[in-house]
């Protein structure tokens, strides 16, 4: 299978839901003007960070990978898991690949990424993390880089999802996305890069304008996905699940995805995303049947 891109860079914006469509995001709008976008990608259920990021980086539903916030914060990801992360799949295909995981919420790196396969990593709050990431890109030109920003979710919990402080924080994170994109361009690798921004979940508010997530309301389950790069269609994606990130990255890297299995790998490539991909797309709505629950844990970054 032919490798489509020399570099894949994914920026995850925790808790942003679908609000990119309503926020003041000049960088996002510019970067993805000719790319593939949706504001209705379906989150994983329950709409909690570990369950969602796990689905994206592993390619299965939470009922398969079994990760929770508590687990990823305390237990390193099993290096012998039958469901390896994207990082392990890439490492096995390309032993010399340059891989990085730079996360505000460090349990992603600790509990979803195997810790013995040479993945560069660091953790800091969004604004402090961005120059670290940009320096890493400039010096290393990674094959695959995952970046996680957490402050939008923090604003949702503290001040309400979709409300002014939350929307203002998306605007600030948009500046950070612009910084990363500019660094990719300045490093001379933009023409061979698939550049992605994705949210994991949104949120819902109580009558005191405090936000939470974990349930299955529209505000919690519909999220933003955007991709740009040579070979990406200018399109509005109609059907997508956030777990599809895994299949998208593997396809971009020229790695065969596992066979679709309702009890295992259920990540797919959305129709219309890539100009040279003509496969179909299965409806997996019947697989999102986990009982709804509300997160009782205020989700913020914790340095591990």
Regarding pTM above 0.85, the answer is: yes
Q: At 44, is the secondary structure helix, strand, or coil? A: coil
Strands 119-122 and 144-149: unpaired
What is the pLDDT at residue 289? 58
Our count of domains for the chain comes to 1
- Is 300 part of a structural domain of the chain? no
- 295 located within any domain: no
Assigned domain for 1 exists: no
Output the pLDDT for position 4. Answer: 97
Residue 293 domain-assigned? Answer: no
Question: Does any domain span residue 210?
Answer: yes
For 93, the token pair is 């295909």
Give DSSP secondary structure letters for 146-206.
EEEE-HHHHHHHHH-TTSHHHHHHHHHHHHHHHHHHHHHHHTT-GGGEEEEEEE----EE-
Is residue 207 assigned to a domain?
yes
Query: Which residue positions in the chain have pLDDT lower than 70?
Result: 289-304
Q: What is the total residue count of the chain?
A: 304
Whether residue 236 is contained in a domain is answered as: yes
- The boundaries of the domain holding residue 88 are 7-287
Place of tokens 């961005």: 130
The CATH number of residue 275's host domain is 3.40.720.10
């Amino acid at each position: 299978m032919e490798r489509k891109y020399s570099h894949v860079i994914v920026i995850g914006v925790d808790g942003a839901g679908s609000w990119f469509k309503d926020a003041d995001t000049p960088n996002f709008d510019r970067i993805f003007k000719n790319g593939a976008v949706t504001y209705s990608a379906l989150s994983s259920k329950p709409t909690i960070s570990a369950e969602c990021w796990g689905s994206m980086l592993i390619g299965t539903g939470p009922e398969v990978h079994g990760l929770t916030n508590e687990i990823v914060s305390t237990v390193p990801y099993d290096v012998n898991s039958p469901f390896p992360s994207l990082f392990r799949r890439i490492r096995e295909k390309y032993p010399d690949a340059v891989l990085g995981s730079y996360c505000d919420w460090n349990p992603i790196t600790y509990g979803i990424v195997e810790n013995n396969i040479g993945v560069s990593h660091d953790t800091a709050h969004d604004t402090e993390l961005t120059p670290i990431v940009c320096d890493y890109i400039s010096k290393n030109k990674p094959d695959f880089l995952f970046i996680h920003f957490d402050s939008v979710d923090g604003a949702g919990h503290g001040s309400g999802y979709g409300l002014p402080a939350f929307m203002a924080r998306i605007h600030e994170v948009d500046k950070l996305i612009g910084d990363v994109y500019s660094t990719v361009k300045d490093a001379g690798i933009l023409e061979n890069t698939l550049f992605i921004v994705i949210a994991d979940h949104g949120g819902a508010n109580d009558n005191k304008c405090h936000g939470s997530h974990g349930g299955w309301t529209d505000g919690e389950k519909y999220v933003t996905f955007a991709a740009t790069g040579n070979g990406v269609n200018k399109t509005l994606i109609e059907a997508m699940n956030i777990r599809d990130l895994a299949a998208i990255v593997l396809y971009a890297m020229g790695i065969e995805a596992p066979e679709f299995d309702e009890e295992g790998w259920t990540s797919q490539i959305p129709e219309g995303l890539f100009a040279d991909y003509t496969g179909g797309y299965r409806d997996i709505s019947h697989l999102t049947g986990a009982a709804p629950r509300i997160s009782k844990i205020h989700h913020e970054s914790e340095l591990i």
